[in-house]
Structure 1
Amino acid sequence: MKLLTSVLLSTFLIVSTAVSAESVRLVISSDISTTLNHAKSASAVSTGCCVTSKLNDAKWCLPDMHQMKAQSSTPSVSKNSGIVVFEVDNQGYSAKQIADYFNQDGRFGLVEVDVPISAHSFRPNDPQHSSQEAYFTSSDYSSSGSNIYGLWDALGQDVVINKNDAIDIVVMDSVFEEHRDLTYFDGRNFSTTALEQGGEPQSRSDDFTPPVETAELHCDAHGLGVASAIGANIDNSTGSAGLTNNANIYAIRVLTCGNGFLSDASEALHWLAGKSVEGVTLYQGKPGVVNMSIGGNSGACPKYMQNGVDAAIEAGFTLVASSGNDSINAAQNTPSNCEGVLSVGAINESGELADFSNFGSSVDVVAQGIDILGYCNSDNDNACWWDGTSFSAPLVAGGLAIIKQATGASNEELTAALKISSSSDNLSADCQTGLCGQGLPDFAKALEISQGLASGTLHSIEFALNESDVCEQAWFIDYFGGKARMCELFKVSFYGGYIGSNMSYQLFSINVDSTWNSSEEVSEGIFDKGTAMLSGLDITNKKYGFKVCQSGLCGRIIEMDISGANDENRPAGCKEH
């Protein structure tokens, strides 16, 4: 197996999208073979492939196909849709006028203007939403942006605005006050904290509202704040915006006035997994996403809590927890340190690790955790500013819930999509050293990865030349075949070309009749990019798989789809050589 890194690969794998102000972009979509024959038989300036304006003051020529491939210029031929796209200088004429001249000539098929387009992005009308843009937008525009906007735009406004097969989002927290901009679908109380010193434990029940005995304590409505960060109604001209309307928000009180016991949270997780709990109606919902903006210093995840986590994950839930606000190693904070729980640290709007946030290798990702809008009492339609990892975690939980609702992704798939789509590139230096886990999520990319996992097309080996059309294949074989053995070059894609921070992929092969996890596995290389161009792969007699590796630890073997490298998919240009 050989790794090919020649610059020539970028010639046919990278296509420019820039169009100069003096040029027009045209599309030929009829009789492509005739068009190509004209292009091959005439030079870029010959009258054979040119048209002239009525006043003879301008002349436009279809570029020579071989020449434009050699120069890696914008004109291209699409192998699938059967179109030719090319640019010419406008010479003072409109794109429509130039297209008309080509059509009047009659030799080129139908020539039309390539219409510039842009995304019709949805932005809610909630009056305070402008103060949320830093963490809703892409990291291209804000150092703390998790690209919720990109996720919304990819799925469409209806998916997040309207309720249709809503996802269950379980918020395990403290005080859940009512608010007109947030609807709790259901709720329970699991807190057994006594309401007075030396008093009897509370009874678990279906009543999640704050006990009347705590009214004079003026406890902050932490549960309301967290729940509204996820599920405040979007686009209703009120207060702030949550992440989705297409959710059933479960208010699960495991604390009383901000205090409680981890065993109550464990019991709530077992209840989600189907366990019957005295005084509490059985959970009737579907496996969704659990947010736990709670925590305590335990040193390690207690066995009873890990058992609850395992039960919920086995039932199909994805668990998200705040990493803690003690500015210590997050490995000491539970439940975020339990195996299988996604631990979320906090950054500020500038992409710096928040001074209060726990940190370290047990953190999975970070999100903005300073100046997060959420409601703080039932009487005020203006949302409050909240700080803490308690408010970075719900941004992650909400983003994952949207993706799970749209794709049906499993917990394993969601976890992989989250980590691989995250990056520390725009974060501060302290996050570059691993203190912030995989970094900041990009939920639009996480969606794309989840969709690819669902379709089974994300991990593949295919002929590299199949990235281009027949004419391009022939040209590259003619000019580079002897040097790069283009017909035996394979494109290997891991997770659709994405790779997370501090990650690598290790490719393995095994005899086609053998099973994975045997002594016969042979390492074919370790890669720090999401794609690789390889030659020397034995597609006939071998099957291929890979492991995701991080900090020296690698996961299980994931088998690759090699159908794109079978003989029936051999590039057409190679069948002639």
Structure 2
Amino acid sequence: MTELPDSPVEKVIVTYESQAEEAGSNTAAAGDARAKGAKTGENLRFERRLAGGAALVDLGGEASKKDLAEVMDAFRADPSVASVEPDIRAYAMAATPNDTEFAKQWDLFEATGGMNVPGSWDKTTGSGVTVAVIDTGYAAHSDLAANTVPGYDFISSSSEARDGSGRDGDPKDEGDWNLTDGECGPDSKAGGSSWHGTHVAGTVAAAANNGKGVAGIAYDAKVQHVRVLGKCGGSSSDIADAITWASGGSVPGVPANATPAKVINLSLGGDSFSCPSVYRNAINGAVSRGTTVVVAAGNSNANAAFSTPANCANVINVASTNRDGSRSFYSNYGSVVDVSAPGGETRRATDTPGTVTTPENGILSTLNSGSTTQSAENYQPYQGTSMAAPHIAGLAALLESVKPSLTPADIESAIKANARPLPGSCSGGCGAGIADATKTVDAVTGTAPGGTTFTNGANVAISDNSTVTSSIAVTGITGNAPAALKVDVDIKHTWRGDLVIDLIAPDGTVRNLKTSSGSDSADNVLATYTVDASSEVANGTWKLQVRDVASGDTGYIDSWRLTF
């Protein structure tokens, strides 16, 4: 006796004895299904023959356990039936990594403040992508070693580099400590080494399932340490050269990068009312080479428009959220912020700077225990937009890995379009919301959990100030559309804020998916929308209607799909 599943069943699989007429004749199998349906009071219908010869029989909708049991009993009572079983559903299984500290990585999986990362790992783990961490360099760590590729030290001052040689091929972190107050300016304070770049790198790509430590977001990606920050920080000239080199560009006097990065993380910044030309040129060059550039918004609880390179164009500017899903008290904000990600809070806004009162609410990652020079490896929680940015860099690596044709603009568009509103508060502007890794990966791969999918991949041109539609004919769905109908949209357009997108049901009912916005100048719409269509009959012609409400930019509907 087959145990009946708890989840609803819509079909059963019937295997007939080899000598039975129904075993070889679809007509006979269809007649038998109708006869069993008449006997049980169900609307049974032969759907198709399976590869092994069994018959798939539709129950006419979701059947209760009682109705399912009656149908199966009717088939079992027939001596010509060898077996009958429910057509049960299977789902992608996102296994929990065996890393010993994974349970403390709330930023990856908690529903309130986390980024919904594990559900994406059944589709992509970042394999084949290199992420450049332009930062303090690398403090050797066994949780990063397997995922580390050769980098470079771009600090041109030998005294600031602390290695006696200036620029060289060794990105080892020599420490960024200060022994006395005032060494780096009148307001600077004495302090130990941060090992900042190693912490950032662990969030991106610490090895997973190795029975130790933490798991990176893109744990099969490679990290390239590019050292630009030493004693008293780093210069914009060194940082700009590092951006160019990391993305595969040429820098005088520096060997070519053998493994150019498809993603760059810049968890660094300084004050500037505008983006310096040296940054602008380096970033634009990197993006033109197909590299996505992710930047921390800054930690001054101020408008990110005055922090650079966060205020540069063609970057993904990332603000920080805490475990409650609110903007972290220190995080910069404003209209230049693109998206938010977990950056944690290891202390409260009212606590004395430098104290750690809630370490469990920080971002746990790889580190080093040395107070000045490197010592033993360890793991520690940090807070900051520096911790938020590598969450987005890791997500960008996942997207690049699963769909290499994505441009930096596509990646930014997908991350923003599939972010969720902050469950907590944000004063000043936190971008599109908290990034959702699983939803974003599903959007770019055109997948959704379960369901039947209908797709239209024919291009439809979108001219200035025009309205166009693309149609999908839905057939074979019983009853009404679901309360969570998935609408995946891929539109190429050079100013997506010009677009209004609607879904039109077969009866003409219009449901708005996206409104226009004069300030949204990003390219493309790559998003998954969920609409309640439970009042609509599923079968019929559905339309995606796109209106261009401004002049100057055009594009086309690349593809769209419905998942029931």
Settle same-fold status: TM greater than 0.5.
Answer: yes
Distance 1:329 1:120 in 2: 41
1:528 is aligned to: 514
1:154 aligns with one of 98, 107, 123:
123
Alignment identity in percent?
Answer: 25
Match in the other structure for 1:210: 173
Distance 1:106 1:407, change over 3 A: farther
Query: Could you say what secondary structure the match of 1:405 adopts?
Result: helix
Provide the residue aligned with 1:136 in structure 2.
108
SS at match of 2:197: helix
Tell me what 2:42 maps to: 62
Alignment of 1:234-249 (within 5 A): 234-249=208-223
Show the counterpart of 1:171: 133
Residue equivalent to 1:420: 417
- Corresponding residue of 1:298: 272
- On the 8 A contact 1:174/1:257 being kept in 2, the answer is no
Report whether the alignment pairs 1:187 with 2:151. yes
Name which of 393, 403, 408 aligns with 1:407.
Answer: 403
- 2:364 aligned to 364, 373, 396, which one? 373
Residue pair 2:135, 2:268 contacting (<8 A) in 1 also:
yes
Q: How does 1:105-504 map to 2 (within 5 A)?
A: 105=78, 112-132=85-105, 134-137=106-109, 141-155=110-124, 159=125, 166-183=128-145, 184-193=148-157, 195=159, 203-211=166-174, 218-257=192-231, 259-370=233-344, 371-377=362-368, 379-408=375-404, 409-424=406-421, 426-430=422-426, 435-452=429-446, 457=457, 463-464=471-472, 466-469=473-476, 495=489
* Deviation larger for 187-196 or 232-241: 187-196
Give the aligned residue type for 1:256.
Answer: G
Secondary structure, aligned partner of 1:430: coil
Structure 1, unaligned stretches of length 5 or more? 1-18, 42-46, 52-59, 66-75, 477-490, 509-523, 565-577
Partner of 2:298, secondary structure, is coil
Q: Does the residue aligned with 1:154 lie in a helix, a strand or coil?
A: coil
Distance (Å, rounded) in 2 between the aligned partners of 1:331 and 1:458 = 40
Describe the shift of the 1:372–1:555 C-alpha distance in structure 2 as closer, same or farther (beyond 3 A). farther
**C-alpha separation between the residues in 2 aligned to 1:449 and 1:280?**
39
Whole-angstrom distance in 2 between the partners of 1:232 and 1:492:
33
Contact 1:288 1:401 survives alignment (8 Å): yes
Quickly say closer, same or farther: Cα 1:506–1:77, change in 2 above 3 A: farther
- Assess, with a 3 A threshold, how the Cα gap between structure 1 residues 202 and 439 changes in structure 2: closer, same or farther: farther
2:354 counterpart residue number = none
Contact 2:129 2:221 in 1 (8 A): yes
Tell me, yes or no, if the aligned pair for 1:290 and 1:319 is still in contact at 8 Å: yes
* TM-score (normalised: structure 1): 0.67
Q: Cα deviation per residue 1:480-532 (whole Å; 9 max; x = unaligned)?
A: xxxxxxxxxxx9966269xxxx9784269xxxxxxxxxxxxxxx997538489
Q: Distance in 2 between matches of 1:109 and 1:346?
A: 60
TM-aligned CA distance change 1:291 to 1:494, over 3 Å: same
Structure 2 CA distance for aligned equivalents of residues 94 and 505 of structure 1: 47
CA distance in 1, matches of 2:233, 2:292: 24
Task: Tell me: CA distance 1:396–1:364, structure 2 relative to 1, closer, same or farther (3 Å).
Answer: same
Structure 2 unaligned runs (5+)? 16-24, 180-190, 345-361, 369-373, 448-454, 461-468, 503-509, 516-528
The CA deviation at 1:230 is 1.4
Counterpart-to-counterpart distance in 2, 1:375 and 1:22: 42
User: Closer, same or farther in 2 for the Cα pair 1:34/1:411, shift >3 Å?
Assistant: farther
- Distance (whole Å) between structure 2 residues aligned to residue 307 and residue 218 of structure 1: 34
Look up the match of 1:558: 555
CA shift digits 1:255-310 (9 cap, x unpaired): 11361122211111222344443442211224410000000110111112100000
- The 8 Å contact of residues 545 and 557 in structure 1, kept in 2 or not, is answered as no
User: 3-state DSSP class of the match of 2:100?
Assistant: coil
Query: What amino acid maps onto 2:149 in structure 1?
Result: F
In 1, Cα distance between equivalents of 2:305 and 2:208: 35
**Is contact 2:247–2:262 with CA below 8 Å preserved after alignment?**
no
Q: Note closer, same or farther for the CA distance 1:238–1:179 as it changes in structure 2 (3 Å cut).
A: same
Q: What residue in structure 1 maps to residue 466 of structure 2?
A: none
Q: Report if the CA contact (8 A) 1:413-1:450 is conserved.
A: no
Two-structure CA RMSD over aligned residues (Å): 4.7
In terms of mean alpha carbon deviation, does 338-347 or 207-216 score higher?
A: 207-216
List per-residue Cα deviations over 1:143-168 (Å, max 9, x = no partner).
2221210110234xxx56xxx6x211
Change (3 A) 1:468 1:437: same
Count of residue pairs brought into register by the alignment: 459
Distance of 2:299 and 2:269 partners within structure 1: 9
Distance 1:189 1:359, change over 3 A: same
Query: Offset of 1:462 from its aligned partner?
Result: 5.0
2:506 alignment partner in structure 1: none
Tell me how far 1:555 sits from its aligned partner.
9.2
Report if the CA contact (8 A) 1:290-1:317 is conserved. Answer: yes
> What amino acid is aligned across from residue 411 of structure 2 in structure 1?
L
**What secondary structure is seen at the aligned counterpart in 2 of 1:264?**
helix
